[in-house]
Amino acid sequence: MGRLFGTDGVRGIANADLTAEMALGLSVAAAHVLAEAGSFAGHRPVAVVGRDPRASGEFLEAAVVAGLASAGVDVLRVGVLPTPAVAYLTGALGADLGVMLSASHNAMPDNGVKFLARGGHKLDDELEERIETLYDEHRTGAPWVRPTGSGVGRVRDYDEGFDQYVAHLVGVLPNRLDGLKIVLDEANGAASRVSPEAFSRAGADVVTIHARPDGLNINDGCGSTHLEPLKAAVVEHGAHFGIAHDGDADRCLAVDAEGNEVDGDQILSILALALRERGELRGDTVVGTVMSNLGFTLAMQGEGITVVQTGVGDRYVLEAMKEHGYALGGEQSGHVIVLDHATTGDGTLTGLLLAARVVATGRSLAELAGVMRRLPQVLVNVPDVDKSRVHTSAELSAAVAEAELELGDTGRVLLRPSGTEPLVRVMVEAADIDHARTVAGRLADAVKSALG
């Protein structure tokens, strides 16, 4: 069978690709692998299990809970909460394992299973591979050795998790949000209760949209992937700005008072300056990816802040942060990690810290976002080419070098083979959009010529 685990757990169409049997089997396998790794040594293991509001999460949660309990793991069921809440509670409660059922920003028919290690951190790739191997062996072979009697896991609802997480969010704020009017688009997702409660407790005047999940409407024309409703609501209500989350609330994008988007790079810029002012930006460094806008890098350099770039994906950002002890990192898409307060991207925390900066400085979000000028960025997908030769073709290297010489310090070029499709992505940034389009078109033709 193909590899089950992707960059963010196991995902697929619920009840087709991702079945109850698979969720149960993976949970049993995870319990056995962690036990063999010594994670449960000397004590009875405990797992925290949460989900987003998708209808399929109901039966998948039941399967995961059954699998863990049948393997001798006690389960604290926290219900519908964001992914970062499950990560936080896994650490705060001293649990041995966390499980989140969500497909993040994906459409409703999808769902996913994500395992978290002790402390609320992502499982190592090696452990994920062992879970997958063991699951596959038992799916087709010998039955599991299961505990009986008092050895089976016990299950209870942990309703206190909601207040515990909200208190954590409000507690890390450097100042209150009194006097701020904000619109929150909850994507009919996992933060529909948490985010409005946290902003309200912190003193903000809150207007919510898309905060009535019914199991079917998650991410449906709303949230961080569909900003138009938020832009309209911010203007309609005369709010200072708006925040949009995705289905599991590990992302945060913003909209200023005039309805203009403030993306992840701009949010990182604002928070980097705030953290440095408080002496919390370790190494005066922020972590981005190769897809971060050049305007972000130039703005940070102008402020004396170093930008470290990783591959695309918040997992790579987090790895670099943990390896070097950096405090802040993230992606243009709105995955922002503040490592002193979270082990993963946390959309609600990011929004709260952004709001706190607006209040503390007395400046509008648009003014704060003005620290960086977002350079026009053009992305062209070139299909049906030999993507394996993108970094070895002399003809293509010459075309890229010529483009880089033409753009100079005011632009850049990035060619990336797609990880899932037979195509090459050509990204060009330049001082103006027409120049970016011209160079991108020329490079796309060069890719077809060299790799076609």
**Residues 307, 292 contacting (CB under 8 angstroms):** yes
Q: Is 102 helix (H, G, I), strand (E, B) or coil?
A: coil
Nearest partner of 81 among 106, 94, 98, 64, judged by Cα: 98
Nearest partner of 29 among 143, 156, 157, judged by Cα: 143
Longest pairwise C-alpha distance within the chain:
73
**DSSP letters for 311-357:** -SSHHHHHHHHHHHT-SEEE-TTSBEEETTT-SS--HHHHHHHHHHH
**Residues 169, 249 contacting (CB under 8 angstroms):** no
Helices vs strands, H then E, count in the chain: 14, 19
Cα 396 to Cα 113, 339, 350, 401, 403: the distances in Å are 40, 39, 40, 9, 11
Q: Using CA atoms, how far apart are residues 124 and 117, in angstroms rounded to an integer?
A: 8
Tokens 């030769």: give the residue: 389
Q: Which helix (H) or strand (E) holds 382?
A: strand 377-383
Q: Using CA atoms, how far apart are residues 333 and 288, in angstroms rounded to an integer?
A: 11
Work out the angle between the directed axes of helices 83-92 and 161-171 (0-180°, nearest 10): 90
Q: Which helix (H) or strand (E) holds 167?
A: helix 161-171
Q: Which residues are annotated as a binding site for Mg(2+)?
A: 104, 246, 248, 250
**Residues 172, 274 contacting (CB under 8 angstroms):** no
| 102 belongs to the catalytic site | no
Q: Is 418 helix (H, G, I), strand (E, B) or coil?
A: coil
Please tell me which residue in 56, 104, 195, 224 is annotated as part of the active site: 104
Sign of CA dihedral 278, 280, 284, 288: negative
Length of the chain: 452
**Residues 257, 365 contacting (CB under 8 angstroms):** yes
Q: Is 257 helix (H, G, I), strand (E, B) or coil?
A: coil
Q: Strand pairing partners for 208?
A: 184
**Residues 375, 411 contacting (CB under 8 angstroms):** yes
Q: Which residues are designated catalytic?
A: 104
